Structure 1
Amino acid sequence: MTSHSPEMPIQVDDETGVWSTDSLPMLYVPRHFFVNNHMAIEEALGAEKYAEVLYKAGYKSAYYWCEKEAAAHGLSGEAVFEHYMKRLSQRGWGFFITEFLDLKAGKARVRLEHSAFVYQYGKVNRKVDYMFTGWFAGAMDQIADSLGYEVKTQAIQVQCAAEDGCESGIFDVSPL
């Protein structure tokens, strides 16, 4: 197995035991633990309601993350979005590949390969990667705001590798 994140070390505070990466506190848990909790909440709320909750939380978190990382690394524009996709890919969620990005128009397409959710769910013939959807709109809106663009976006998942006949997830971002 090769490492895709040598420049992203994990820091552990000797006094508190808090782990951090990119100066942000992190939790390090096995994938099955996280996804099994995700599945239990989905079962209790229903996938549609849970997706709505996650969209809002993910949007807010991505907006904040992009704002902080852009400042910390002196990044702007497309470089912030690509940095975000790289970091998501390095954290075990899957590989996020930007297929198209037009910040001013508020449009993007992201392909997801090796989804952590698909690995756990398997082929269930439905979209299971909805947790990520708000992340893309939040990132786009933060970057657009930082550039002075007035566009606000929304994101949807158009396909998932958990669906029959699909080998990757596809997310589209478009203006509201």
Structure 2
Amino acid sequence: MLCSLLMLGGLPLAHAEHEGFGFTFEADLEYGGDDLATFEFTDGSTQDIKTGQGITAALGGHYRATGSPFSVRGTVGYKYVTTKASNADISIGRTVLELAGNYLWDNGWWVGAGITHHSGIKYDADGFGPDVDFDDATGPTLEVGWRWIALTYTDLDYKDEFGGEWDASSVGLKLTTKF
């Protein structure tokens, strides 16, 4: 399913092969951070909701000067995680802004570094506990990839409305198409 999303109606999966200005679509699957809540289900299983966990879909733009191994991209997206509960929508949602620079080698490998900003961070317990709002959070992000796939690390801390601090750092897998 994720691969079909990235094909965007026949657009090829690619990374920084394009020169000049273009558009970017990204899908990230991330895991990590502190346990915000643990839920026990009627079948006896449990599930943790982690502050850095989620799936992000993002759109944006990129630029690479002709002949340069350097590129820059900016995206805006939405990161979301929910539980497997069938009778509730317990979730964390947030808007994600990212600006990153990349260095691309001729063999398709690349590295990137940039800054990520999360805003509108909200934990919705759907009546099974208190809802919690978090302050905006900004932190660095690092990437190492080959063509359209990358491993990522993002270092973030969330501060909740009650003054509590939460590690929202994550490791992830990023899929990118540029056109």
Structure ranking higher on relative contact order (CA contacts 8 Å, 6+ apart): 2
Answer 1 or 2: which has greater helix percent: 1
Structure exhibiting the larger radius of gyration computed from Cα positions: 2
Name whichever structure is richer in strand by fraction.
2
